[in-house]
Structure 1
Amino acid sequence: MIRVATIGTSTITERFAEGVAAVDGITISHVHSRDPAKAAATAATFGAEPASDLAALLASDAIDAVYVGSPNSVHHGQVLAAVTAGKHVLVEKPAVPTVAEWDELVDAARASGVVLIEAMRTAYDPGLDAVRAALPAVGTVRRVSFRYGKRSSRYDQVLTGERVNIFDPAMAGGALNDLGVYCAHALVSLLGEPERVAAALVPIAAGSDGAGAALAVYEGFVADLSWSKITDSALPSEIQGEVGTLEVDAIDSARRLTLRFVDGRVEERTVDAPAGTLTDEARRFAELIAANGDHTRDQQWTRQTLRLLEAIRAAG
């Protein structure tokens, strides 16, 4: 049994624990928080042990792996400490703000002989596999539009002047890191990295981006990405080819795909799986640890996504 300690006690950690509960061979054994009361309360809901001393936890033989669900800005230090201690790590997206930080962590994990992957839900969701399988049907790709807009309830707190981690630039917050990353990951994992990028970010009072858009240029086609945490959007994503267009209901968790061909045919495809769960990423993590599997592809997708996010920030 793979024993996992979670770092962080937010909603995403609760969702990860739900995902773990559906996977054989892995369990949440410890919950870390700097606040002993939070650690105890969350651990009780998971049937785990609380731990407020992270250094002692990482040095112990009581755990095999760590899930890092803390604020983005502290991921790097916590992951580095965990892999150096010989613990496997699944780190919540975005893993770190920069490619340089990710490269350092990958090197450290390799030196320790442990698994390090990002908890990028779409990477392991069957929806993206369905999009990948349908992609050849559209013919030569010419236009791509990936969108993710969902107004955060916490934006109301920002409007009253309150500091909120997901919108705080000091915590590596903002809409690009939280939602735009799904569009960026889907783009590079399906179609590779672009040649150049143009972008514009919408600043908010918190100092981060509340929304934004980017144009990624490839040889032979262009892709536009749009994201927002201050407005809602019900628009689907699209991949437009010379013989058809693939419409995707939600780029972060595709469940309904519609192929519209230039000759008038329409083909519907559905993905029979619950949307939005973290079960698949937990399963991938467990399988890699159990089989000492090759996770080069996983790490490369993270690196390519971070490169694109850096290009968007630089252009915006």
Structure 2
Amino acid sequence: MIRIATIGTSAITYSFVDALAEVSTIELAGVYSRSRETARKAAAAFGAEQTWTDLDAMLASTDVDAVYVASPNGVHHEQALRAIRAGKHVLVEKPAVPTADQFSVLLDEAKDAGVVIFEGMRNAYDPGTAALRALLPKLGQIRRVSLAYSQRSARYDLVLTGRSVNIFDPKLAGGALYDIGVYCVSMLVDLFGVPQAVTASNVTVGSGVDGAGAVLASYPGMVADLSYSKITASDRPSEIQGELATVTFDRVAAPRELVVTYLDGKRDTERLDLSPANMRFEIERFGQLIEGDDPAADQLRTLHTLETIDAIRASSI
């Protein structure tokens, strides 16, 4: 049994622990937080027996085999690096780190330490994405891709009052691209590879980060647009257009309804009866990698996603 401790006590950690209960190969070892009160509160909710307020003490514990890093984006790299150097496997919440160079460092360090570094990108391991991939040959030559994810953050109201919020803090690598747009970028790279070129534009909020953005990505014979927002909301589906048919699907982060529309108007609909909380699939994959599966493809997808994000940030106006 793999024993994992959590770093961070935000809502995503609670979702992670809920999903962890569905995975038979990994169990919760304990909770780390800088605040003793917060650590105890989370541990009580999770049913965990151990808490730590000293990160080095947690990383030195023989009761911990791996860590789940769900702290603010801007501290992922430092905490993941410390865990790797302590000999712990690392599952780091998306985005793994803000830049491709930082992830390359983690890859080298993990290889030297003989541990796994792995990004928890939900849609990469979701059965809905696998179903979407299986439909692509029906579309013929793919020419247009449009991926959209807009979800207004309740914490944006705090930003509007001038308060500091982690997910909108530029010092902590906050903003829409890292938090929401990364799902679109990861799916694009996963299905079609790295684009030849990108151009981008965004809307900056009062804290100085992007609240919404749009990207145009070019491929040989194909163009893709990505749209994402944390300051507006939309239920607009995403779509992939081929010369023979188009597939539309409801959610980039967790596709559940996929509709193929052919040139003659005929439609095929596939619905997946799965819980929206799909984190268990990434946790299961993490366990497989620790048990010996080759992580190269998983890590390369993350690296290429971050390289694309680097290019998007460099081209944004």
> What's the TM-score bracket when you normalise by the shorter of the two chains?
over 0.9
Amino acid at match of 1:4: I
Give the Å deviation of 1:116: 1.0
Amino acid at match of 1:293: D
Task: Tell me how far apart the structure 2 counterparts of residues 272 and 294 of structure 1 sit (CA, whole Å).
Answer: 30
Give the Å deviation of 1:200: 0.2
Amino acid at match of 1:268: T
**Deviation per CA, 1:145-190, whole angstroms, max 9, x where unpaired?**
0000011111110000011000111110000000000000000000
**Deviation per CA, 1:195-244, whole angstroms, max 9, x where unpaired?**
00010011010100000000000000100000001111111000000000
Give the Å deviation of 1:285: 1.0
Give the Å deviation of 1:293: 1.3
Task: Tell me how far apart the structure 2 counterparts of residues 298 and 110 of structure 1 sit (CA, whole Å).
Answer: 14
Give the Å deviation of 1:44: 1.5
| Paired position in structure 1 for 2:312 | 312
| Paired position in structure 2 for 1:108 | 109
Secondary structure at 2:305 match in 1? helix
On the 8 A contact 1:15/1:277 being kept in 2, the answer is no
Task: Tell me how far apart the structure 2 counterparts of residues 181 and 17 of structure 1 sit (CA, whole Å).
Answer: 22
Task: Tell me how far apart the structure 2 counterparts of residues 302 and 25 of structure 1 sit (CA, whole Å).
Answer: 24
1:175 aligns with 2:176: yes
| Paired position in structure 1 for 2:279 | 278
Give the Å deviation of 1:50: 0.8
| Paired position in structure 2 for 1:250 | 251
**Aligned-pair identity (%):** 52
**Deviation per CA, 1:86-129, whole angstroms, max 9, x where unpaired?**
10000000010110000000110111111110011111111110
Task: Tell me how far apart the structure 2 counterparts of residues 47 and 195 of structure 1 sit (CA, whole Å).
Answer: 48
On the 8 A contact 2:254/2:278 being kept in 1, the answer is no
Query: What is the TM-score of this pair, normalised by structure 1?
Result: 0.98
Secondary structure at 2:310 match in 1? helix
Secondary structure at 1:161 match in 2? coil
Secondary structure at 1:254 match in 2? coil
Task: Tell me how far apart the structure 2 counterparts of residues 43 and 287 of structure 1 sit (CA, whole Å).
Answer: 26
Query: What is the TM-score of this pair, normalised by structure 2?
Result: 0.98
Amino acid at match of 1:71: P
1:1-316 correspondence runs (5 A): 1-48=1-48, 49-289=50-290, 291-316=291-316
Task: Tell me how far apart the structure 2 counterparts of residues 52 and 153 of structure 1 sit (CA, whole Å).
Answer: 28
Task: Tell me how far apart the structure 1 counterparts of residues 218 and 11 of structure 2 sit (CA, whole Å).
Answer: 36
Task: Tell me how far apart the structure 1 counterparts of residues 128 and 27 of structure 2 sit (CA, whole Å).
Answer: 25
Secondary structure at 1:107 match in 2? helix
Secondary structure at 1:111 match in 2? helix
Task: Tell me how far apart the structure 2 counterparts of residues 246 and 25 of structure 1 sit (CA, whole Å).
Answer: 36
Task: Tell me how far apart the structure 2 counterparts of residues 193 and 73 of structure 1 sit (CA, whole Å).
Answer: 24
Amino acid at match of 2:258: L
On the 8 A contact 2:15/2:277 being kept in 1, the answer is no
On the 8 A contact 2:19/2:277 being kept in 1, the answer is no
Task: Tell me how far apart the structure 2 counterparts of residues 276 and 60 of structure 1 sit (CA, whole Å).
Answer: 30
> Deviation above 4 Å: which 4+ runs of structure 1?
none
On the 8 A contact 2:119/2:302 being kept in 1, the answer is yes
On the 8 A contact 1:144/1:224 being kept in 2, the answer is yes
Task: Tell me how far apart the structure 2 counterparts of residues 73 and 213 of structure 1 sit (CA, whole Å).
Answer: 22
Give the gaps of 5 or more residues in structure 2: none
Task: Tell me how far apart the structure 2 counterparts of residues 88 and 216 of structure 1 sit (CA, whole Å).
Answer: 34
Query: Alignment RMSD, CA only?
Result: 0.8
Give the Å deviation of 1:277: 2.6
Task: Tell me how far apart the structure 2 counterparts of residues 223 and 44 of structure 1 sit (CA, whole Å).
Answer: 46
Amino acid at match of 2:262: F
On the 8 A contact 1:211/1:229 being kept in 2, the answer is yes
Task: Tell me how far apart the structure 2 counterparts of residues 246 and 305 of structure 1 sit (CA, whole Å).
Answer: 23
Aligned pairs, how many?
A: 315
On the 8 A contact 2:77/2:97 being kept in 1, the answer is yes
Task: Tell me how far apart the structure 2 counterparts of residues 245 and 136 of structure 1 sit (CA, whole Å).
Answer: 11
Amino acid at match of 2:14: E
Out of 207-216 and 53-62, give the one that drifted further.
53-62
Task: Tell me how far apart the structure 1 counterparts of residues 47 and 234 of structure 2 sit (CA, whole Å).
Answer: 38
On the 8 A contact 1:91/1:118 being kept in 2, the answer is yes
Task: Tell me how far apart the structure 2 counterparts of residues 52 and 30 of structure 1 sit (CA, whole Å).
Answer: 11
Give the Å deviation of 1:276: 3.1
Task: Tell me how far apart the structure 1 counterparts of residues 41 and 273 of structure 2 sit (CA, whole Å).
Answer: 35
Give the gaps of 5 or more residues in structure 1: none
On the 8 A contact 1:139/1:242 being kept in 2, the answer is yes
Out of 39-48 and 246-255, give the one that drifted further.
39-48
